[in-house]
């Protein structure tokens, strides 16, 4: 017995309102899977040269200096 048949057996014993919730969830999973399949594959390093950091990025911030 495959997974779909096992799910069907369980669904036969559930109230119609719960079966409707299961159907909504299955449709959600289908849409989620479809969106993932349509997403382009990201290439490592494709944004090289498009991002920069200020030279003083690691410098202490004035906001955190002790006020004496």
Q: Which band of pLDDT confidence, cut at 50, 70 and 90, is reported for residue 17?
A: very high
Structure tokens of 65? 């200096």
Whole-angstrom Cα distance, residue 62 to residue 44? 36
Structure tokens of 7? 């799910």
Q: What is the pLDDT of residue 68?
A: 54
Please report, for the chain, the start and end positions of each structural domain, with discontinuous segments joined by +.
1-39
In the chain, the percentage of residues whose pLDDT exceeds 70 is: 97
pTM of the complete model: 0.53
Q: What is the pLDDT of residue 30?
A: 94
CA torsion sign for 46, 49, 51, 53 is positive
Structure tokens of 54? 């200020």
- Cβ atoms within 10 Å, residue 43: 7
HSE (side-chain half, CA atoms, 13 Å) at 21: 5
Quick check: 59 pLDDT over 80? yes
């Amino acid at each position: 017995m495959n997974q779909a048949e096992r799910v069907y057996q369980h669904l036969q014993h559930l109230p119609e309102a719960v079966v409707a919730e299961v159907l909504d969830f299955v449709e959600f999973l289908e849409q989620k899977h479809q969106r993932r399949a349509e997403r382009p594959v990201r290439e490592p390093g494709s944004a090289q040269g498009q991002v920069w950091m200020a030279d003083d990025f690691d410098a202490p911030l004035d906001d955190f200096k002790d006020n004496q």
